[in-house]
Amino acid sequence: MVRKLIIIGSGPAGYTAAVYAARAELKPLVLAGEKAGGQLMNTGVVENWPGAEEGVRGPELMIEMRQQALKFGAEMVDKQATKVDLSQRPFKVWVGEKMYEAEAVIVATGAESVMSGVPGEKELLGRGVATCAVCDAPFYRDKVTYVIGGGDAAAEDALALTKYAKEVYLVHRRDELRASKIMVRRVKENEKIKILWNTELKEVLGKDKVEKIKVKDNQSGEEKELAADGVFLAIGHKPATEMFKNQLTLDEKRYIKVSMEYPVVTQTNIQGVFAAGDVVDYRYKQAVTAAGMGCQAALDAEKYLEQ
């Protein structure tokens, strides 16, 4: 059985693509993965989702989007795609030994924040440990916060937190930031940001929420515990593109390249294969922009299949 459309991945991009494709009667098959829902499944309250005045919990939003796609006729398989062959139509997608075929494919496998791997980090994710200050900064009004990293993402997170937090510390393992010159200047000129140079995060401490962090001075070897309300990991993001690296064109950061030009904005280097969300976008990384791109990909796929 050759399907019209397979969507690989879930989250805002995948689920939005599924809603639009299902409403267009394409009967999309969504390979959502064992951990369906993307990064929002680890997010507390999302206050910047349009139309949710009181905010909405990340997992609840993803469940509602999933149910909406199912309502219009999308088919969900909560298993991970393991291999693809995009060299010719129909395109082939494997889940283990089972193979699916489709006339068009939307890749929405997303990206994940790079974790530091220190003890306590995973256990307190969503309870003081976060990966997006732009999303969560308002929850840390008058709190003590730490941003881990030294690149543009870390600088942006630190600057975003200064609007709300009482104290903002930027923890960097070197003696010079990797961020662009303009971002370095903005950080250093902001009196609210204090930089802990040559310092590494060693542990996140707390029972039900973040209470302290343990850091190490990598010059002197001294370790100490610091009171903390929030820890923001800004080490970087890793796109889920390993499966596509020899078939789709990737940029220097390993994100999938799409045309970004009308009339087919989400087109990859292969006609009939589209990509959307955080697997493409390393600049904005917002749920609403991922959802918007998922809509574009579904409309692009619908037009392609019509032609």
For residue range 176-190, what is the model confidence (pLDDT) as tens digits? 999 889 999 999 999
**Residue carrying structure tokens 């922009």:** 289
Domain 2-112+237-306: top CATH class = alpha beta
Active site residue 132: yes
| Fold for the domain defined by 115-233 | FAD/NAD(P)-binding domain (3.50.50)
pLDDT for position 86: 98
Angle at 152 between CA 151 and CA 157, to 5 degrees: 105
The residue from 78, 85, 136, 157 that is catalytic is: 136
Domains 2-112+237-306 and 115-233 share a fold: yes
**What's the pLDDT score for residue 254?**
95
74 Cβ contact list (under 8 Å, min separation 6): 18, 19, 21, 22, 27, 28, 29, 30
Report the DSSP beta bridge partners of residue 13.
none
pLDDT of residue 135: 78
User: Which tokens hold the place of 64?
Assistant: 């509602």
Quick: pLDDT tens for 38-93: 888 866 678 789 999 888 988 899 999 999 999 999 999 999 999 999 999 999 99
The residue ranking higher by pLDDT, 265 or 284, is 265
**pLDDT bucket at 102, cuts 50 / 70 / 90:** very high
CA distances to 33, 190, 207, 274, 304 from 104, rounded to whole Å, are: 19, 49, 47, 8, 8
Q: What is the mean pLDDT of the chain?
A: 94
User: Is 136 one of the annotated active-site residues of the chain?
Assistant: yes
The band of 113, judged by pLDDT with boundaries at 50, 70 and 90, is: confident
> What average pLDDT does range 168-174 have in this prediction?
97
What is residue 116's DSSP assignment? Answer: -
Q: Is pLDDT at 126 greater than 80 in this prediction?
A: yes
* Domain boundaries, given as residue ranges, for the chain: 2-112+237-306, 115-233
- The reported pLDDT for the residue numbered 34 is 87
135, 157, 278, 300: the catalytic one is 135
How crowded is residue 123: how many other Cβ atoms within 10 Å of its Cβ? 13
Structure-token pair, residue 172 = 């960097």
Task: Work out the average pLDDT over 25-32.
Answer: 98
- Say how many CA atoms lie within 13 Å of 217 toward its Cβ: 9
295: annotated active-site residue: no
What is the side-by-side strand order in the sheet with 212-217? 199-205, 212-217, 223-227
